[in-house]
Structure formats: C-alpha cells, structure tokens
Chain A
Amino acid sequence: MNATKNAITKTLDGNAAVVEALRQINPDVFGFYPITPTSYIGEGFSKLVADGKVNTEYVCAESEHAACSICVGAAAAGGRAVTATASQGLILMAEVLWNASGMRLPMVLINGNRALSAPLSIHCGHDDLYAVRDAGWGQLVAKNAQEAYDFTLCAFRIAEAETVRTPVMVAMDCFHTTHTTQKIFLQPDEAAQKFVGETVQKNPLLDIENPVSYGNFDKPDFYMEHKRAQLEGQKKLLEETKTIFKSFAKTFGRGSESVVEKIGAENPDLAFVALGSVCGTLERAVKKLGNAAVIRPRIFRPFPAEELRDKLSGVKKIIVLDRCSPAGADWAPLGTEVRSLGLEAEIRNGIYGLGSRETHADDFVALANNFEKLSTETPHWINLRD
C-alpha cells in the first residue's frame, strides 16, 4: 500500500499546516484575535479570504473573548466555526469555552500551547492547556506540524458527530510546532474534504421553522441533569476520536491509529509519558536508553485512561513529564492523572521546559538513570538553577 496515498508534500510550519487544513475545510465562520504564536493562522487565513480561496466569514474581533463568542454564535446558528489563540488569549476565552461545551456547540479552536504570565513569556508551556482542561472540551495534542494538520481535519468530524456535539481544541506547542518548518504530507483537497464531510447541523438557531433557544437559565431542578448529560457527550468524544483516528489512518495510509502512541521498546522497563513536541526529544532519549519507550497521549481531554493502562501494563518505572508547575498540587496535571490510574509501576513526576527552557535527550537519559533517587512525593524540576 502506498504509505502516503497521493499525498502532496509541502514544507510548512505548524501554523501554515493548520491554515492549509482550514482552507480545505472552508469553515463558515472564523472569529479571530491575534496572539503569539498563532497570529499567522489568522494572517494566513485572512489572505485566503481576501484572495477568494475560501468563502468563510472572517471576523476580526476586539479580543479573544469576543472571537470565541463569535464562534459560539455561529455554531449555534448552525455554522461550522473555528478560532485560534494561545496562552493569555485562551484564558481570556475561558468563560466562553464553558458556554460552548455546555450548549453542545461543535466548534473547533486551535491553540499554540504557551506559558502564562507573569512573568511574561512568549515561549512554550502547557499552563494554558491545563488551565482549561475542565471546560468540557476535547483536547487533541499534536506532536508536530503533521499532526497539527491531521488533527485539524479530524477535529471537525469528532466535534460534529451526532453522539458527541462537543467542541474540540487542537493544541500544538508554541514555536516548537507552530513555527518549526518541516516537510509534511497534505491530502489533496477533494480527499480531505470528503474525509471531513459536510457540516452536520443540529437544532440550528437560524431554522426559524423549528425555533430553539440557546444559553438558557437552569434552576436547581435541572442543572445537574444537564451537566450529567453533557458528560455523556464527552465520553462519546473519546470513542469517536478512536474511530476517526482509525478511519484517518485507513483512508490516508499514515498517522497513528491509536489515541495513545507508543514508541520504543516492545516491553520496556521504563516509560516516559508526555504530551506534545517533547516526544520527539524523548524518542531519541529512549533510543539511547535501550529498554525504554515513550507513551504519548494524543488526546488529553477526555483522558484516555484505558489505553494508557493498556500501553503501560508491565512497565516497572514510569516518568511522567509536565510542562507546567504543579501550582499547589502535589504533582503536575499529567503526573496526577497517571498516578491515579492505579498502576503497579513506580511513578515519578518531572517538570521540564517551562517557558521553553531547553531540555535535551541527554537530560531525560540522566533522569531515567537517576530514577531511584527521584522523590516519590514531589516532582523533579529538570535543568532548574539552584
């Protein structure tokens, strides 16, 4: 089988790859407010609008809060809506994120995972991603520009599925992915469009024959039922993601089929668990270590617990890596999640790369070799000055 099935190769960074996916998808509405590192997504897409390559309603908002609200309105009206942001922008959107998921609006958001202020940093961190993890959205976390493109195609299908109807964000690492230019595969327009399919409307606000209302007041008699019903959509989101990833790999002949990717030894003694671009560095570290593997969740919310348990079974030592401070908790978010899986393995939590602090394969090799000395109580901060 041709591994790339008529794919076109282009040299693009993560932002440009997402713009290509969005050009193919041609969404109804793009609400946008620029912020480093995803400004180019709006810049590149607005050029497509100006050149008539897409017929999207591109709305320049006065803030990220407005940009996301525009998408909520558009999605409620029955349109396919998308926005892009990062860091401070994502947390300014926070209020609206809960509204989008609570109203079961299948919009898509592209995030460039960036550290939060203060101190002001324009570099990478997963603080923003973790800060909104409980917003009820799906969070797909890309490793590189290729996955940013692939996930953008998948995200609309996942979000709009009949049983899901839940918004999805595609997260890629600030600069490490958004601005790293690599040769990637793009599917031909027709094939990509066929894969994504037409917008699936459900109870659109603009269907005046069948009037509905969104964002209603809920009294104590039904709020809890509505939140419980919403949870079903989130559970289905994980199932649907598995189906779509499989379908993607089958249709295009590339990409991992699983929501949790494992790279390295077949039956490793030691495994690193991490999200995003650092997994490239970790792949080199596990090669040097030999009997080790990288276990990478490609989705953080809903959390793929079952698949992680499966991929981590038999592993004796686990190092979970977080690009975020634990901020008052014992362990940082991914570490806490993995610890709660109830595995028999010994688990440690490492904090790396805040604000893009350089972390090399050798640092991870050293961490693995010092496993016994790492605290079981508190996370180990990698490459931190005394």
Chain B
Amino acid sequence: MIKEGISPLAIFEKNATIGLMKFENFTLRWHSRAGQGAVTAANFMGEALADLQYKTISFPDYGAEKRGAHVVVYNRFSESSAEEFLDPAHPRKIDLVVLMDPSLVGVEIDHEAVLKGLKKDGILLINTEKTDASGFNKLFSGTIVHVPATKIAQETVGRNVPNVPMAGALTKILDLPADKMANLLGDHLEKFFKGELVEKNLVGFHRGQNELTTFTP
C-alpha cells in the first residue's frame, strides 16, 4: 500500500467540481519492450481518461519493430489547454515515467534516459518485486513507486504481459475512480478477449492497485 504522508497523490490538486484530479498537460512516458503491451495500456489509459471527460492523447515511438525491442509510448491528459494536444512533438517535460521492464536499463538504455525530462517532483513507477528503487534514488529526488506487475501478470494471466497491473498501479497513483476504470478496462479487453481472460486481467488490475510500495530511503 502507498504509505500515508508520502503519497504521490499529494502533488495533485483535487478538482472539486468533478471530483477528479486536476490534470494540466499531465504527461506520462512509458519505457517497455515490444510485446509487453505498453502501447495497448497507454491507449487504454487515453481512452479511459477521455471517458472521464479529459482531453487525452497517446502516441508510441517505435524503435526497431521487433519483439523485445525498446518501445517508448507517451500519454498526455488535460482539462483545458487544447493547443498542447495538437502538438505531435515528443514531450520534454514528463510528470510520470513508467518503467515496464527494468531489464532495459543498462542494456538498451541507461538510468539517465529513463529520467530524461522527468520533473524533479515527478513520479517514477517501476515494475519490480524489489523495493530498492533499482538505483534511481541516487539520481532522482521525486517519488519512486514499485509494483510487481510481471509477478502479478504471471500469477493472473500466466504470461509476462505486465500492462494491466501497471494500469492498475497508475489508477491508484493518479487517484482515478477505481470502479469506473475497472468497468472501462473490462469493456476495452472484451474487444480482444472473451470470458475468463477478461476476469483474470481484472484481478491483475485490482492487484496492481493494491500492491504498490513507495521507496523510502
């Protein structure tokens, strides 16, 4: 569970009128490997946030078009400033980085590339069973959150596709309405799968929300 007092939620301001977070060009960058479902997850987050009446955009930055290759995806959510949304240039100021596969670090990319553009008071969400910040705490003073998304995916759907638990973790971190998000995810997954697999993914989504730990030095 996210510990009281150091919750990343504190950096957001509640919007009283709709009871949701107030996002102004809130930007996420995902680092993943092709096949782990980061693009699908980012598109789902975009679709879901759009349903929650935000302006959203999501776009991938493919590398070598090969399974296992490094893939970067961006999400941006906002309530107002529309002009940012027409800009297809890759964002330079990042509020939250999702590291879907820590095995990228030191092989395909270095720590600096993961943190590039991440605001000092931003959030780094790492898919890991460990809680040691994977060496990022020396380079980054913002909030580091761990979620064992691969472990959850293996235990729920039986494959290393950590995208749904990661979306669960994001739902918690961004304080999005969990029930509504679960419904939207169910609808989204039904486009691809049937019955049992949708249920298993939803279990992974809930576990992603509940198995977060924030790094404490």
A interface vs B, CB < 8 Å? 9, 11, 13, 36, 122, 143-144, 173, 175-177, 179-183, 277-281, 283-284, 287, 358-361
B57 adjacent to A180 (CB under 8 Å): yes
Q: B89, A361: Cβ atoms under 8 Å?
A: yes
> A179 to B65, alpha carbons, bound, how many Å?
14
On B, residues with C-beta under 8 Å from A are: 39, 42-43, 46-47, 50-51, 55-62, 65, 83-90, 92
Say yes or no: A181-B55 contact (C-beta < 8 A), given A281-B87, A361-B89. no
Interface contacts beyond A181-B42, A277-B88, A279-B86: sample of 20 additional A-B pairs, CB < 8 Å, sorted by A: A9-B50, A11-B43, A122-B62, A173-B88, A177-B88, A179-B39, A180-B57, A180-B58, A181-B43, A181-B46, A181-B47, A181-B59, A182-B46, A183-B50, A278-B88, A280-B85, A280-B86, A281-B89, A283-B87, A360-B92
| Set B58, B65, B90: member contacting A181, Cβ < 8 A | B58
A101–B71 CA distance with the chains assembled, in angstroms: 40
Q: How far is the CA of A98 from the CA of B34 in the complex (A)?
A: 38
- Residue numbers in A under 8 Å from B84 (CB-CB): 284
Q: Is the CB of A122 within 8 A of B65?
A: yes
Q: Across the interface, do A175 and B59 meet the contact criterion of CB distance under 8 Å? A: yes
CB distance from A277 to the nearest CB of B (A): 5
**Is the CB–CB distance between A144 and B86 below 8 Å?**
yes
Q: Tell me if B60 and A182 are in contact (CB < 8 A).
A: no
On whether the beta carbons of A175 and B65 are closer than 8 Å, the reply is no
Report B72 CB to chain A, min CB distance, Å.
Answer: 11
Count A/B pairs, Cβ under 8 Å.
70
Q: Is the CB of B56 within 8 A of A182?
A: yes
Query: Which B residues lie within 8 Å of A180 (CB)?
Result: 57-59, 88
Give the residues in chain A near B46, CB-CB below 8 Å. 11, 181-182
Report the Cα distance A9→B52, complex, angstroms: 13
Contact with A175, one of B43, B50, B60, B87 (Cβ below 8 angstroms): B60
In whole angstroms, what is the CA distance A36 to B63 when docked?
12
In the complex, which residues of chain A have a beta carbon less than 8 angstroms from the beta carbon of B90?
358
Query: Chain B's nearest CB lies how many Å from the CB of A275?
Result: 13
Residues from chain A with Cβ under 8 Å of B47 in the complex = 11, 181
Q: How far is the CA of A111 from the CA of B46 in the complex (A)?
A: 25
The 7 closest A-B pairs by CB, nearest first: A280-B86, A176-B88, A180-B59, A11-B47, A11-B50, A181-B58, A277-B88
Q: Nearest residue in A to B43 (C-beta to C-beta)? A: A181
Docked complex Cα distance between A277 and B89 (Å): 9
Q: How far is the CA of A29 from the CA of B134 in the complex (A)?
A: 54
Bound Cα distance A287, B83 (Å): 9
25 contacts between A and B (CB under 8 A): A11-B46, A11-B50, A11-B56, A143-B86, A175-B61, A175-B62, A176-B88, A179-B39, A179-B60, A180-B59, A180-B88, A181-B43, A182-B46, A182-B56, A183-B55, A277-B88, A279-B86, A280-B87, A280-B88, A281-B86, A283-B83, A284-B86, A358-B90, A360-B92, A361-B87
In contact, A36 and B58 (Cβ under 8 angstroms) = no
Determine the distance from Cα of A2 to Cα of B21 in the docked complex, in whole angstroms: 29
> A18 to chain B: closest CB distance in Å?
16
Q: Which residues of A contact B57 (CB under 8 A)?
A: 180-182
- Chain B residues lying within 8 Å of A13, measured Cβ to Cβ, are 43
Partner of B86, one of A122, A173, A283: A283
Q: Which A residues lie within 8 Å of B42 (CB)?
A: 181
CB of B62 within 8 A of CB of A182, answer no
Are A281 and B88 interface neighbours, CB within 8 A?
yes
Query: CA–CA, A280 to B84, complex, Å?
Result: 8
Decide: A176 and B83 in contact? CB cutoff 8 A: no
The minimal Cβ–Cβ distance linking B11 to chain A, given in whole angstroms, is 25
- The interface residues of chain A lying within 8 Å CB-to-CB of B65 are 36, 122
Set of chain A residues within 8 Å of B39, measured between Cβ atoms: 179
B184 to chain A, nearest CB (A): 11
Q: Closest residue of chain B to A173, judged by CB?
A: B88
The docked-state distance in angstroms from the alpha carbon of A361 to that of B93 is 13
Most A Cβ at <10 Å: residue of B56, B57, B86, B89: B89
Residue of B nearest to A9 (CB): B50
**Which chain A residues lie closer than 8 Å to B55 at the CB level?**
183
Q: What distance in Å separates the Cβ of B39 from its nearest Cβ neighbour in chain A?
A: 8
A281 to B92, CA, bound (A): 13
In the assembled complex, the CB of B127 is this many whole angstroms from the nearest CB of chain A, namely 22
Complex alpha-carbon distance, A9 and B53, angstroms: 11
In contact, B88 and A182 (Cβ under 8 angstroms): no
CB distance from A193 to the nearest CB of B (A): 24
Residues of chain B with a CB closer than 8 A to A173's CB: 88
Bound Cα distance from A143 to B58, whole angstroms: 16
Closest to A364 in B: B89
Q: Compute how far the CA of A107 lies from the CA of B179 in the bound complex, rounded to whole angstroms.
A: 47
Contact of B83 among A183, A284, A358 (CB under 8 A): A284
Chain B's closest residue to A177 (CB) is B88
Q: Which residues of B contact A283 (CB under 8 A)?
A: 83, 86-87
Q: Which of B59, B85, B86, B92 contacts A179 (CB 8 A)?
A: B59
Whether A183 and B56, one on each chain, are in contact in the complex, defined by CB atoms closer than 8 angstroms, is yes
**Residue among A122, A280, A287 facing the most chain B CB atoms (10 A cut-off):** A280
Of A11, A177, A181, A278, the most chain B CB neighbours within 10 A belong to A181
User: Inside 8 A of B59's CB, which chain A residues have their CB?
Assistant: 175-176, 179-181
B85 x A182 contact (CB < 8 A): yes
